[in-house]
Amino acid sequence: MACAPTAAFDSLAQRVIYGLRLMYSEFAPATGTNASEKAQAKLHTLLGAMIDALYAKPSLLNLPAHPDEAFQLYELNNAKPELDKAFQAVCKELYGFYKCLYITALHGEITPQGLSVGNAALKEYKTTCKPPYQTLLAEVGLKLTKNKAGVVLTADSELLHALKLLAEQVPVNVNKWTPFVLANFAGCSFTNDFGHLLPRADAASQSDGLLLQLQSRCLAEGYTQTVQCTLSLTNIEYNICFRTQIGGFHIVYSARKRRLVHFGTLNGIGEKAMLADFANLSADLQAHFIRICAPCSHCLGCTKGGRNTVFAVDVAYEGNAYRLCPVFPQHDWEDADRPLLEVLIKYHAAQERYGTDWKTK
């Protein structure tokens, strides 16, 4: 599965599909199942080849032919409504395809004729079989047929058992908004292991191993790591977090952003207290706050119509006076370098001290 850094794509659809390629798992079989390792490996190869075919020719799934375009890191979706609609149009088709395949595999029955799922289950889970789904699956030798009773997927029995196993491995009811984690199914992860994502994010962002060094440093200092992959109606993304009790780092891949990978801090808890104690911060933390906090513009948004006092804090730095606003500081960056990572690790340690009042509430 190719995952080299890419600056531009032939179309917006290709940009989104690239996220599937980057997210696609390294093969690791589930053990103790009725699907052999050989069958699981065969399915893994087949579904990966299907994504490669779709990347080369997005029209296989009848994806919109919108030219390549993306949001800058600082841009909100509503800043470009037409671009937002274009991303949704592509993601909706991808989501619909994988949902159909997932529901068929999970709720279907393997018979001599193939993997069959009835109309009642399709209706219950609000999925349908569209002609482009049949076209894409046919590229890798799978036959999807729609009849009066429902849908039948035809392949050899071992492969169908592997597909059903894959569907059964998908986490469900993660929260009230997530009935199933479709990204795990699309990524063909039999073990729900996505340890490959950070090295691929490092390669895609051309960070030359720096993100891997950050992982090693964080884990050595007691941070906990979590990984969340998302294939939704609006985006393909994954989020790798290294957390302290209060703060931490996140490394984010998002198909919607011009620079596909960005990183930053999880939150700004404790920042106002740090600014209030600015004179006692280390020199590098002081410089960090000068860089990330904008001067107060007297917009009075922080007062919420006069109900609060102004949040801005007066500080002195290198002989100059600053009135810094802690409401909207910079927390995300497109380029990582060692000095920035080092100061952010100090910043997280400061959050543990200055954010204690918040933690105990």
Q: Enumerate the domain spans of the chain.
A: 12-186, 194-361
Asked if residue 5 has pLDDT above 60, the reply is no
- Spatial distance between the Cα atoms of 181 and 227, rounded to a whole number of angstroms: 12
Which element (helix H / strand E) includes 152? Answer: strand 150-154
Q: How far is CA 24 from CA 47, 180, 200, in A?
A: 9, 17, 10
Q: What is the mean pLDDT of residues 211-222?
A: 95
**pLDDT 10s digits, 155-167:** 999 999 999 999 9
Could you give the CA distance from residue 80 to residue 102 in angstroms, rounded to a whole number?
32
Per DSSP, the three-state class of 186 is helix
> Average model confidence (pLDDT) for the chain?
92
How buried is 360 (Cβ within 10 angstroms: 0-12 exposed, 13-18 middle, 19+ buried)?
A: exposed
Name the nearest CA neighbour of 159 among 194, 103, 110.
110
Rg (CA), the chain: 24
Torsion angle of alpha carbons 45, 47, 53, 56, nearest 10°? -100
- Which has the higher per-residue pLDDT, 95 or 359? 95
Positive or negative, the Cα torsion across 173, 178, 181, 186? positive
Which pLDDT band holds residue 246 (cuts at 50, 70, 90)? Answer: very high
Instruction: Say which range, 23-32, 92-101, 139-148, 296-305, has the weakest mean pLDDT.
Output: 296-305
pLDDT digit string (tens) for 31-90?
A: 988 899 999 999 999 999 999 999 999 999 999 999 999 999 999 999 999 999 999 999
Band the pLDDT of 98: cuts 50, 70, 90: very high
* pLDDT computed for residue 299 by the predictor: 85
Q: Considering the entire predicted model, what is its pTM?
A: 0.90
* DSSP-assigned beta bridge partners for residue 253: 238, 261
